[in-house]
Amino acid sequence: MPYKHLYIYQIKGVINESGITTPDYIGCWNEGTSSFLFFKTDQKNLVKALVEAQPQLTLVDSYDMDYENWQGGNLKPFRVGPLWFCPSNENTGQKPEECKVISFDPGVVFGTGLHPTTYDSLYLIVDLFKQYTPERVLDLGTGTGILALACAALGAKKVHAVDINRLAVKTAKKNVLLNGFEKRVTVSEMDAATAIKEDAVLALMNMHYEILSRLMDMEAFGRKKWIILSGLLRTEYMKSLRKLQKRLHLVKERSTGYWFSAWFEA
């Protein structure tokens, strides 16, 4: 596993992290107007000094937890169709001979394949690539980059993975290099509303409904031949279907527990 233990500090406000020089610093996750600082060791004195030096900040809470608790489970290799996903610090395990290996290090970013929205998105991607090979793919809200990596492994020539979170971008770039996909996958720090205007045959959107709903109203949304949506709870999914049924054809859907994912065609 990338880390045994995490020390997390939740701060109200967007922090300037330039003054954090300790080698035990992992990174900062910004969520709206909140910041989450991650360290390998207890750094309460350092964080206290940072907050005192930036009056606009307030320390909300601190947490120390095992890495598995943060990621929601123990990382292990798993298979989706012809792809074998393997944490970078593990051997490939019982990899079927015919599978392609995708190595990944999620760090503290979400997107390990453990969550149903990621897992179901991967299944829909594999199903789509069995019939078509989209040459240009957009992965909006890429997280660790695992969906973008899957598309590249399956044959996509150009994949643009974007995320508004700097730590996610850093993590996804690392995973692109791990797999030798730097000529086919680019990663950018960019908001989804800007990125969706780019030309692409397939758009992947595994993100919060509030953001998805705004993207659905954009003209650029309807210019993609295929769209895979995920991150939707049942009520949100039904709202999305009603919104899209006159514009797009539902090809396939998957649900795990309360979560829904779907593949649409223009």
User: Per-residue pLDDT averaged across 98-106, rounded?
Assistant: 93
pLDDT at 133: 96
- Calculate the dihedral angle through the C-alpha atoms of 219, 224, 225, 228, rounding to the nearest 10 degrees: -110
Comparing 44-53, 62-71, 101-110, the range with the smallest average pLDDT is 62-71
pLDDT at 16: 82
- Whether 142 shows a pLDDT value over 90: the answer reads yes
pLDDT at 91: 76
Residues 6+ apart with CB under 8 A from 20: 37, 46, 50
What's the CA gap between 81 and 120, in Å, rounded?
12
- Whether 249 shows a pLDDT value over 90: the answer reads yes
Residue range 131-140, pLDDT digits in tens? 999 999 999 9
Residues 64, 10 contacting (CB under 8 angstroms): no
Residues 217, 193 contacting (CB under 8 angstroms): no
176 SS3 class: helix
Comparing 2-6, 23-27, 227-231, the range with the smallest average pLDDT is 2-6
The more confidently predicted of residues 124 and 19 is: 124
> Mean pLDDT across the chain, nearest whole number?
92
Residue range 164-198, pLDDT digits in tens? 988 999 999 999 999 999 999 999 999 999 999 99
Comparing 30-39, 80-89, 100-109, 206-215, the range with the smallest average pLDDT is 30-39
- Whether 9 shows a pLDDT value over 80: the answer reads yes
Confidence of residue 34 (pLDDT cuts 50, 70, 90): confident
User: Per-residue pLDDT averaged across 51-61, rounded?
Assistant: 92
- Whether 72 shows a pLDDT value over 70: the answer reads no
Q: Which among 148, 155, 156 has a CA at the least distance from the CA of 178?
A: 148
pLDDT at 1: 59
- Whether 73 shows a pLDDT value over 80: the answer reads no
The more confidently predicted of residues 90 and 152 is: 152
- Whether 88 shows a pLDDT value over 90: the answer reads no
In the chain the domains, ranked by start, together with CATH numbers, are 5-71 (3.30.70), 110-265 (3.40.50.150)
